[in-house]
């Protein structure tokens, strides 16, 4: 069965085609540049852009896969979480495809997609693994079993900002261009990660072992920058970027490795947009190697939002014989992650 995956939870319109754990073709359109002058994603602009990009993106994915629309045997779509207006465009499109083609529809959880996409690059997941999800809206440690069948266990979440959000905010503080994550990563290349000792939030023994918090770290960066500018000094942008990035990478990888060791799990999955960060990747590699843990990180272009990741979840569900969603499945902008398929009475 060829699964068409559709993703529109934020500012990327993505379509992907997957069968039997293999990516056949995908395409992506982003409205990122349209949001740049607002410093963040504007939901109404994103929704309109999804509407315009949807059919061209699906067509391009089909062309790249050398497939026809009639070859599609199931449709998977992000039903949440995400920006409500954005999710609804993808969901309505997916319903139309499923209805017109008379194939099953699977409403899936966006974060399950971030995890499942690694299957396309590195093959089936082991029976159990820990996933560190670090993205624009989430920072979570999850205990995964069979993604298509088992409930997902939340080990910990962020108490405030997500890791990606912290990167975006620090970029603004430093006057680096939007989107912030890649800008900070680039600026940090020429900086000294030990130049400034920014705090490692929630790493004392009495703190929640798998909890994260990034708003205090962001404030520490803002204070440091204010103090330096108040004293009339030049801002060492590269050093601040590198030191901040080090604090995030140190915190998330330390907790992720601890979660693996605590639960006797020998595979760590690092996924989501911030998994594209060069220092997070390098430090995760170093620490997993030292702890005898196998590290799996999707290739960079599959770390940020895309359609292939949603098709990957759909493919797992199809092959597991999971029940399809009803066509009346609603968008769920703040869906909790209990499993890959969005649960609810409509299932």
**Residue 276 within binding range of Mg ion, rule CB under 5 A:** no
Residue 116 touches which member of Fe ion, ligand ATP, Mg ion, none, C-beta under 5-8 Å by kind = none
Shortest Cβ distance from residue 80 to Mg ion (Å)?
16
Q: Which of 24, 76, 274, 310 binds ligand ATP (CB under 6 A)?
A: 274
Alpha-carbon distance of 8 to 258, in angstroms, equals 33
Alpha-carbon distance of 150 to 316, in angstroms, equals 12
Shortest Cβ distance from residue 181 to Fe ion (Å)?
12
Q: Which of 97, 167, 198, 212 binds ligand ATP (CB under 6 A)?
A: 167
**Residue 310 within binding range of Mg ion, rule CB under 5 A:** no
Alpha-carbon distance of 104 to 98, in angstroms, equals 6
Name the binding residues for Fe cation. 110, 114, 305
Q: Which of 5, 80, 179, 298 binds ligand ATP (CB under 6 A)?
A: 179
Per CB under 6 A, which region of 17-25, 55-63, 67-75, 270-278 contacts ligand ATP? 270-278
**Residue 10 within binding range of Mg ion, rule CB under 5 A:** yes
Q: Show the site string, 98-127: x = touches ligand ATP by CB under 6 A, - = not.
A: ------------x-----------------
Residues 237-266 that bind Mg ion (CB under 5 A): none
Per CB under 6 A, which region of 26-34, 177-185, 255-263, 332-340 contacts ligand ATP? 177-185
Q: Which of 29, 93, 277, 325 binds ligand ATP (CB under 6 A)?
A: 277
**Residue 136 within binding range of ligand ATP, rule CB under 6 A:** yes
Q: Which of 2, 6, 9, 47 binds ligand ATP (CB under 6 A)?
A: 9
Residue 3 touches which member of Mg ion, ligand ATP, Fe ion, none, C-beta under 5-8 Å by kind = none
Residues 286-305 that bind ligand ATP (CB under 6 A): 304-305
**Residue 302 within binding range of Mg ion, rule CB under 5 A:** no
- Interface residues with ligand ATP (CB under 6 A) are 9-10, 82, 110, 135-138, 164, 167-168, 179-182, 185, 272-274, 276-277, 304-305
């Amino acid at each position: 069965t060829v699964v068409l995956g559709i993703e529109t939870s934020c500012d990327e319109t993505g379509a992907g085609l997957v069968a039997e754990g293999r990516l056949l073709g995908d395409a992506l359109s982003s409205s990122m540049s349209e949001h740049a002058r607002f410093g963040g994603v504007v939901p109404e602009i994103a929704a309109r852009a999804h509407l315009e990009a949807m059919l061209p993106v699906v067509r391009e994915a089909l062309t790249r896969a050398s497939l026809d629309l009639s070859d599609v045997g199931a449709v998977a779509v992000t039903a949440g979480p995400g920006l409500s207006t954005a999710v609804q465009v993808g969901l309505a499109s997916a319903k139309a495809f499923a209805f017109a083609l008379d194939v099953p529809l699977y409403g899936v959880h966006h974060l399950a997609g971030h995890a499942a996409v690694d299957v396309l690059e590195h093959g089936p997941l082991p029976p159990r693994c820990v996933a560190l999800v670090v993205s624009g809206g989430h920072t979570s440690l999850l205990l995964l079993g069979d993604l298509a069948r088992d409930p997902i266990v939340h080990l910990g979440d962020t108490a405030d900002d997500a890791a990606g959000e912290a990167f975006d905010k620090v970029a603004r503080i430093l006057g680096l261009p939007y989107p912030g994550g890649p800008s900070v990563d680039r600026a940090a290349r020429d900086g000294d990660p030990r130049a400034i000792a920014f705090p490692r939030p929630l790493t004392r023994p009495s703190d929640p072992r798998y909890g994260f918090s990034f708003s205090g770290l962001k404030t520490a960066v803002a204070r440091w920058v204010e103090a330096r500018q108040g004293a009339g000094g030049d801002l060492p942008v590269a050093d601040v970027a590198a030191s901040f990035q080090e604090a995030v990478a140190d915190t998330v990888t330390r907790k992720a490795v601890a979660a693996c060791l605590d639960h006797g799990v020998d595979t760590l999955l690092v996924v989501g947009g911030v998994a594209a960060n060069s220092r997070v990747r390098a430090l995760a590699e170093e620490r997993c190697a030292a702890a005898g843990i196998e590290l799996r990180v999707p290739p960079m272009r599959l770390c940020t939002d895309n359609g292939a990741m949603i098709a990957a979840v759909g493919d797992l569900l199809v092959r597991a014989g999971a029940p399809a969603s009803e066509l009346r499945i609603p968008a769920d902008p703040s869906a909790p992650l209990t499993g890959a398929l969005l649960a609810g009475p409509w299932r």
